[in-house]
Structure 1
Amino acid sequence: MRCGGESGVRADLFEGVEWRKSSHSAPGGDCVEVAALSHDMIAARDSHDPQGPALICSTGEWEVFLSSVKSGVLVGLSQA
């Protein structure tokens, strides 16, 4: 997934955004939170590190990512 040049900005610096967590998230589990930004952009952050870096993507890129996750395309990929 190619993401915008703003990725890596501290997530707590985004003012006036509403972060939300998936309804599939388990209490105390590893969770990703997302927020809608202006100009059809999405921010994603680690719920355990809300001041940490945010990944910024267009809504189209985010939809491709979600589709890949749901279809299992990303299952089994190892970290670089």
Structure 2
Amino acid sequence: MHQTYNGMPATKLNGARWQKAHRSNSQGNCVEIAELPGERIAVRNSRHPEGPALIYTRPEIEALILGAKDGDFDNLIG
């Protein structure tokens, strides 16, 4: 895999195994994630799989997931 950078086309992440939450809806309004080498995580919009990927470190994603579990972002949903 070539060097990864924030905003790179998701299609350039060869070998990435994208996954989305089981709660995702059937209209494709989903966020997909993929584990990358080097303790990195890629995030993309499922409606635009060829679009840009945001690249995060594992600790950044862990903080996001733990914050969501703790209800830190409950004010963002109806």
- TM-score for both structures, normalised by structure 2: 0.83
Q: Deviation digits for residues 5-53 of structure 1, max 9, x if unmatched?
A: 8211111110011111111111114100000000010000000000111
The percentage of aligned residue pairs carrying the same residue is: 37
Q: Which has the higher contact order (CA 8 A, sep 6+)?
A: 1
Name 1:16's counterpart in structure 2: 15
Q: What SS is found at the alignment partner of 2:75?
A: coil
More strand by share: 2
Deviation at 1:74, TM superposition (A): 2.4
Name 1:26's counterpart in structure 2: 25
Q: Give distance in 2, aligned partners of 1:30 and 1:72.
A: 21
Deviation at 1:72, TM superposition (A): 2.2
Deviation at 1:75, TM superposition (A): 3.4
Deviation at 1:63, TM superposition (A): 0.6
Unaligned regions of 5+ residues in structure 1, if any?
none
1:1-80, aligned counterparts within 5 Å? 6-76=5-75
Alpha-carbon RMSD: 1.6
